[in-house]
Amino acid sequence: MEIYMSDQTCDFIYMMDGNRCNAGGGDGSSGGWPGDGGLETDVFFVPERVDGKVVTGIAPRAFYGCKSLKQVFLPETVKSIGSYAFAECRGLEKLHFPGSVERIGDYAFYNCMGLHEISIGRDMTSIGYGAFKNCLELSRISMDIVQGRSHCLNAILQDEFQEVDVRLNYLDEAGKVWSEARLVFTDYQYEYVPEIEARQFNWETYGSGESYRVSIRGTDIDYLKYDSVFPVAMVEDDARTLIKIVAGRLCFPHKLAGGHRVKYENYVKENIDSIMEMILSGNNAPETAALLLEYILNHRLLEQAPLLNAIKLAHKYERPEITAQLMAYGGQPETVVKRSDVRTRFSL
pLDDT at 23: 33
pLDDT at 106: 97
E strands present in the chain: 2-5, 12-17, 20-25, 43-45, 49-50, 53-58, 71-73, 80-81, 94-96, 103-104, 117-120, 126-127, 140-146, 164-171, 177-185, 189-195, 200-206
Model confidence band, residue 86 (pLDDT cutoffs 50, 70, 90)? very high
For 194-222, write each residue's pLDDT tens digit. 777 766 766 677 899 999 999 999 889 99
Task: Determine the residue type at 221.
Answer: I
The span from the CA of 105 to the CA of 111, in Å, is 14
Residue of 41 and 319 predicted with greater confidence: 319
Using a cut of 0.75, tell me whether the model's pTM lies above it.
yes
Cα angle 284, 235, 195 (rounded to 5 degrees) comes to: 130
Lowest mean pLDDT among 6-20, 59-73, 108-122: 6-20
For 157-193, write each residue's pLDDT tens digit. 999 999 999 999 999 988 899 999 999 999 998 775 6
